[in-house]
Amino acid sequence: MERLIHWGIGADEKYSKLLYEKNKYEIACTWIEWLIHGFPWFVVAALGLIVAYGKNFDEMTQYGLVVLNIGLYFDLIFIAVIKFYIHRDRPLKTYSKYMEHTVDIYSFPSGHSSRAAMLVVMLYNFSPMAAVPFIPLPLIVGLSRVALGRHYITDVLAGYANEVGEAFRLLVHPVVVKFSYVVAFGYVAADSIDKGFIESKKTHVNNTQKTKKVAIAAVDTVLWQTFASVLIPGFTINRFCFFTNMLLQKSTKLPTTVRKWTVTALGLATIPFIVHPIDAFVEEAMNKTARKVYNE
């Protein structure tokens, strides 16, 4: 087992360095680095939120900016905790190169890849059609991070939500999967608070009705997001990877490391196909159950 682990780490370092040495698009990769860098995103998102509320933009715009700001901070905290827990040096230190544009010295996981994936998911929640052209963005960002020598291949594959945390369960420490759920539930909390706040700004007959409507908006969001964004997708990927691993273990003679990577790759490939069916199922289920109770 120890030899297989060393083999996996060696392969990761070998092919990451190969991609770095063969990189002929350093300028393009640097532009991508700055476009997804946390600093401009935090500044622009914060200023956008201030302007949106100061100029009384429409509620949908205000809501989107609130979620964006909260998502950026939760993503930052999540990645920082894992980085300081894992303590993996960046590749450039191994290559004896100077590390430019890096806020911290640790490599695993990639904050740029995590941020890119989060932005695409958020955009999809607001406008699925608008998000379609940006679906390859996390992959492009991830490749650029490896090509610049900022990260190893495994670093960029780890920067996603709880579904991806489940897909990587065979390869990472359980604490990584647990923290992916912390981020997911952080988004649920932020969304429910903002939905309640938006409802409180509307005109109501009296304070009793206002309190009731605000509570319903918050509870409805918590229920929907918990099932549609966290529990069901997480469970689906968890079981898919579990049975895929069991099937490969019984029907093939793949080395343990290769089998685990295969399961993870298949788990990641499954995520885009489960989003819409799960959303539709939860919407229909809530319309026939919980919403009948509190809407009456």
Which secondary-structure segment (H or E) carries 217? Answer: helix 207-225
Distance CA 215, CA 220 (A): 8
Distance CA 252, CA 246 (A): 10
pLDDT band at 243 (very low <50, low <70, confident <90, very high): very high
If you search the block for the tokens 């109501």, which residue do you land on? 204
pLDDT band at 170 (very low <50, low <70, confident <90, very high): confident
Residue 145 near residue 33, CB atoms below 8 Å: yes
Q: What is the mean pLDDT of residues 195-206?
A: 80
- Rounded to two decimals, the pTM is 0.50
Distance CA 197, CA 178 (A): 29
3-state secondary structure of 89: strand
Distance CA 123, CA 117 (A): 10
Residue 123 near residue 131, CB atoms below 8 Å: yes
Query: What backbone torsions phi and psi does residue 89 show, to the nearest 5 degrees?
Result: -65, 150
What single letter denotes the amino acid at residue 96?
Answer: S
- Going by C-beta distance under 8 Å and a sequence separation of 6 or more, which residues neighbour residue 137? 116, 119, 120
Task: Tell the burial category of 274 from Cβ atoms under 10 Å away from its Cβ (0-12, 13-18, 19+).
Answer: middle
pLDDT band at 2 (very low <50, low <70, confident <90, very high): very low
Task: Tell the burial category of 187 from Cβ atoms under 10 Å away from its Cβ (0-12, 13-18, 19+).
Answer: buried
Q: What is the mean pLDDT of residues 233-241?
A: 89
Most confident range, picked from 6-15, 103-112, 231-240, 263-272: 231-240
Q: Residue 158 pLDDT more than 70?
A: no
pLDDT in tens, 104-138: 666 666 777 778 877 776 777 677 777 777 777 77
Distance CA 33, CA 31 (A): 5
pLDDT in tens, 46-94: 888 888 887 777 777 777 788 788 778 777 776 777 667 666 667 765 5
3-state secondary structure of 244: helix
| Share of residues in the chain with pLDDT > 70 (%) | 75
